[in-house]
Amino acid sequence: MKVTRLLSLCVFFALSVSLCSGACAEVDSDTEAVAGDSFQLGCLSCKVRLEVPATATVDWLFKARGGNSFVHFYTYDGESSDIIHEQFQDRIQWHGSKKTFDLQDATINLLNVTFNDSGTYVCIFNRILKYEHYEFPTIVKKDFNLTVVPTGECAAHPSRIALRGTASIVSEVMMYVSIIGLQFWLLVEMIYCYRKIAAAGEEALRASAAEYLAITSESKDNCAGVQVSSQEAPSKNLLDCVTSSCDPQPLL
C-alpha cells in the first residue's frame, strides 16, 4: 500500500511539472516608439490553470490621443487575422502565440510607425475554458498609452533605445528560468520518491521474512508437542494397568 501511494505521488509530481512546462510571464508593453521604425505592441494573458483546455480570440482597439472613442482595428482567432481599420492597413504583423487556438500571447508588430499612432491601445482576450461538462467564458483586457517620438529625440536619449524590447526579453528570461526550476524540482522529487520506494520495499521484505520465520518456528513447536504426546501415551496406559486390576490376557 505504501509503495502504491508513493508511486501515485511521483506520477502526480511528474504531471504537475509537465503541465507547467509552458511557463508564461506577464509583463507590460513598451510605451515609446520611434517614427518611421517598427514597434512591438506587447500583450500577454497567462492562464491560471494550464491543465484546462481553452480557445481564445484576440481583438485590438485604438483611441487616438485627444480622441473620444476606440476603433476596432485588428482581430486574430488562432488561424486567421483581419486588419479592420484603414489606418493600420498593411502595417500589422502577428507576433504572438502560433500553432494553437489557446492564445496567451497577443503581441503584434506595428510597421512604419507614424505620429498618428500615438494614443491608447487595448487588447482583449475572449477566452473560453472547456471543462468536462460545461464551458466558462472569460474576458481579459490590457491597455497602455503609446507615445511616438522623432528619430533625433530618441538618439539624444540612448536610454530609451535600451528600454525598447525589455518586456519581451524579461518575459523570455522568466519563462526559461521557470522551466529550468520546474525540471530541477521534478528531478529532486523523483530521487526522493525512488528512495522512499526502495526503503518501503526493503521494509516489506524484512516484515515478510520475520513473518515466515515466526510461522516456521510455530510449526516446529507444534510438531514437537505431537511427538511428546505420542510417546507418553503407552507409558500412561501401562501405569494404569499396573495400578489397577488388569485381567491377564490369555496366551495364544
Angle between helices 2-19 and 166-243 (to 10 degrees): 170
Between CA 121 and CA 143 the distance in angstroms is 5
Say if residue 120 is in the same domain as residue 187.
Answer: no
Secondary structure class of 117 (helix, strand, coil) = helix
Degrees, nearest 5: CA angle 198-202-203: 115
Which of these ranges, 78-82, 172-176, 247-251, has the smallest mean pLDDT? Answer: 247-251
pLDDT of residue 156: 42
- For β-strands 32-34 and 135-149, DSSP reports them as parallel
Q: Where are the alpha helices (DSSP H) in the chain?
A: 2-19, 151-156, 158-163, 166-243
Query: Please, what's the b/e burial string for 224-234 (b: 16 or more CB within 10 A of its CB; e: otherwise)?
Result: eeeeeeeeeee
pLDDT at residue 60 tops 90: yes
Q: Is 158 within the bounds of a domain?
A: yes
Tell me which residue range forms the domain holding 77.
31-164
Q: Is 238 within the bounds of a domain?
A: no
What is the rounded average pLDDT of the residues 10-36?
A: 60
- For residues 83 and 73, is the Cβ–Cβ distance under 8 A? yes
Q: Which residue has the higher pLDDT, 249 or 86?
A: 86
| 120-137 residue pLDDT tens | 999 999 999 999 899 999
Q: What share of the chain is helix, strand, coil (3-state, %, to 5)?
A: 45, 25, 30
Return the percentage of the chain with pLDDT > 90, whole number: 34
**With bands split at pLDDT 50, 70 and 90, how would you rate the model's confidence at 195?**
confident
Number of domains in the chain: 2
pLDDT at residue 59 tops 50: yes
Q: State the cell numbers at 123.
A: 487588447
| 166-194 residue pLDDT tens | 656 776 677 778 788 888 888 888 888 88
Q: State the cell numbers at 200.
A: 518501503
Q: Is 248 within the bounds of a domain?
A: no
Whether the predicted model's global pTM rises above the 0.75 cut: no
Say if residue 18 is in the same domain as residue 63.
Answer: no
